[in-house]
Amino acid sequence: MTVLLSVQGLSKTFGGLKAVSGVDLDVAEGEICSVIGPNGAGKTTLFNLISGVLPPSAGRLVFAGRDLREIRPWHFAGIGIGRTFQNLALFKHGTVAENMLTGRHVHLRSTVFDAVLHLGRTRREEIAARRRIEEIIEFLEIEHIRDAVVGTLSYGQQKRVELGRALASDPKLLLLDEMVSGMNREETEDIARFILDIRDQLGITILMIEHDMRIVMDISDRVHVLNFGEKIAGGTPDEVRSDPAVLEAYLGSKHGRAEPARGEAAAHVG
C-alpha cells in the first residue's frame, strides 16, 4: 500500500473554536475514502486545509511524499490535489466547456509575454487543453450540454460540471465535498458510478465528504469519522458501522442531514 496523502496531527482553530483537532489519517493510492460526521464536525475545514484554501494551525500534510509546508498553497492544484466545493464554484454565465477550461488553467504555463513571444507554445497548450476538456465531457456524458450556459442547468447537472472542472486539473487526489447532496436517487447512483469509474479508469484516488450513508457504505474502501473536529473512528465501512462511538455521535447530534432519525442513515449506521 502506497500512502498518497498523510494527515498528521492536523488542527485548525477559528478564534476559540477547534474546527479540526489533531486529526490523523492516511489515504492510500487508488482508494476511495470517505469522511463522515455530523454538521459542523470540521469536514469541509479539513478539505480546506488539504487543498491549501486555509493554513493549518498545527500538524502536517504529506502528499506524494512531499511535505506540503514546503509548497505554496496556490500550487497544490498543480501538484495533483483537485477538489469540488460544497457550494459549487462555477461561473454561472459561462458555458459548460468554458467552466471546465478554468479547471485546466493550473497546467497552462504560458503568460501574456509567452503569448506574444512564443505563439506556438501557447497555441499548443490551448489545443491540448481543449482536447482534454472534450475527453472529460465525453467521460461524464455531458456532450449534450457542452455549450449550455451553466446558470440554466439543473442542480444535478451543475454538480456534474463541477466534477468535470475538478477533473480538468488532472488530479492525483480528488476531494469531493458532498457531491450528491440535493440529488435524487437516480442522480446519486449516476455519481456513485462516475466516482468508481474515476478511480478505476482514470486511476484517481478519491477522498469524499458525504452525508448519504448509502453511497458511503457502498463504494468506500475506508471511512473516517469526525465529531467536533476530532477523528473518533476510522476503518472499513463494516468496522465504522458497528463502532459504538460513531453511533453515539450520530444519535447525539441534534441537527444534521446524517441524523439516523431520518431513516436512511439509521438503516445503515448501526
Ligand X SMILES: Nc1ncnc2c1ncn2[C@@H]1O[C@H](COP(=O)(O)OP(=O)(O)OP(=O)(O)O)[C@@H](O)[C@H]1O
The binding site for Mg ion (CB under 5 A) comprises 43-44, 86
Binding partner selected for residue 56 from ligand X, Mg ion, none, CB under the kind-specific 5 to 8 Å limit? none
Q: Which stretch binds ligand X (CB under 6 A): 37-45, 71-79, 143-151, 261-269?
A: 37-45
Cβ proximity to ligand X, 170 vs 212, nearer residue? 212
Q: Counting contacts by CB under 6 A, is residue 52 touching ligand X?
A: no
Hey, what's the cell of 35?
Answer: 469522511
- Candidate residues 8, 22, 24, 40; the one interacting with ligand X per rule CB under 6 A: 40
Q: Which stretch binds ligand X (CB under 6 A): 1-9, 42-50, 71-79, 216-224?
A: 42-50
Which of residues 39, 152, 154, 184 is near ligand X by CB under 6 A?
A: 39
Give the rounded distance of the alpha carbon of 129 from its chain centre.
22
* Interface pick for ligand X out of 7, 32, 33, 42 (rule CB under 6 A): 42
- What's the sign of the alpha-carbon dihedral 21, 199, 189, 163? positive
Q: Which of 6, 11, 33, 37 binds ligand X (CB under 6 A)?
A: 37
For 5, 29, 168, the CA distances from 2, given in Å and listed in that order, are 9, 6, 24
SS3 content of the chain, % helix, strand, coil (to 5): 45, 25, 30
Per-position b or e across 128-157, b if 16+ CB within 10 A of its CB: ebeebbeebbebbebeebbeeebeebeebb
DSSP for 168-199 reads TT--SEEEEESTTTT--HHHHHHHHHHHHHHH
Contact range with ligand X by CB under 6 A, out of 33-41, 102-110, 113-121, 129-137: 33-41
What pairs with residue 60 in β-bridges?
A: 8
106 binds ligand X (CB under 6 A): no
Where does this chain bind ligand X (CB under 6 A)?
14, 17, 19, 37, 39-45, 86
